[in-house]
Amino acid sequence: MTRGTELQLYPIRFRETYRKKVWGGDGFKKILKKKGCPPKTGESLELIQQGKETSVVAAGPLKGMTLTRLLKTWPREILGDDQSMRFSQAFPVTVKFLNTRDRLSLQVHPSDEFAQRYEIAGTGKTEMWYILSAGKEGKVIRGVLPGTTIAEFKRHLAEGSIETCLNVMDAKEGDIIFIPPGTLHSASGDVVMLEIQQNSEITYRLHDWNRPDLNGKPRRLDVEKAMGMIDFYSMGVSKYRPSRISGYSYKRKLLIKCEKFTAEMIELEKRRIAIKGDRDRFHIL
């Protein structure tokens, strides 16, 4: 199928790809029943278009076609009338699952403005986590404790006692964690979660718990940029609560609504329901 060919739309399913991580585990096999995951799988990429890494259609008439080619050939049909002019070159979000068997590095993401100033790929990263499962020791770090000064933070970082400055919470199934740019964050304790993020791979790693990577080499830190981006003064809401959306014959709840994306939960009480879309925007199920 080529440009100019009329696209008969259908629910497009993409093949997942896996990334091994030093902090990964086997949670995708146990919780999500995924097959073929290598040991220490940390990420299952469900929908991605970043450089040469792009999702591939799994079934139907478009099977084998990349997301990149779909956007070039049918931007309006794939993205919707309102979004096709803004995002025809790059899909605006990335969707993945994470399994943090060990501790995720202590990290922060830049805003669009910070990325445009300091990075070649000038897109920041806003993201959210939805916790699907957590071990008994499951933890989430979100933000710096109120009242922590920059001087105190730097001292604890240098002394190896940075955890005393962090907002550490128990991770539980159903938790909703919103992570805007500038929010220091991490997770540990065999947590399996859905991550929806702005399409950006820029991560500033502040601390990595003094461990080597999968090849036994030290992992790169970005302390200077991380310190320049951390928001020390606004921790925000630690965990969000879903709110019921009325007007539907099935249960539909709002998880997160922000400038970059909206995430909702649909609870299936029947094997089949009708979900009405529109031509202005795309929907990921």
Q: Rounded CA gap, 275 and 281, in Å?
A: 14
**Dihedral, 193, 233, 158, 185 alpha carbons, nearest 10:** 0
Q: Which of 76, 205, 219, 252 is catalytic?
A: 205
Contact 123, 92 (CB under 8 A): no
- Structural tokens at position 98: 């994470």
Q: Rounded CA gap, 194 and 97, in Å?
A: 5
Beta strands per DSSP E along the chain: 17-25, 41-47, 49-50, 53-54, 93-100, 106-108, 127-133, 139-144, 166-170, 176-179, 185-188, 191-198, 204-207, 243-244, 251-257, 262-267
- Structural tokens at position 170: 């128990």
CB-count burial class (<10 Å; 0-12, 13-18, 19+) for 222: middle
- Structural tokens at position 220: 């790169």
3-state secondary structure of 246: coil
Contact 212, 219 (CB under 8 A): yes
DSSP labels for 207-223? E-TT-B-TTSSBPP--H
Active site residue 117: no
Termini Cα distance of the chain? 24
Catalytic (active-site) positions: 205
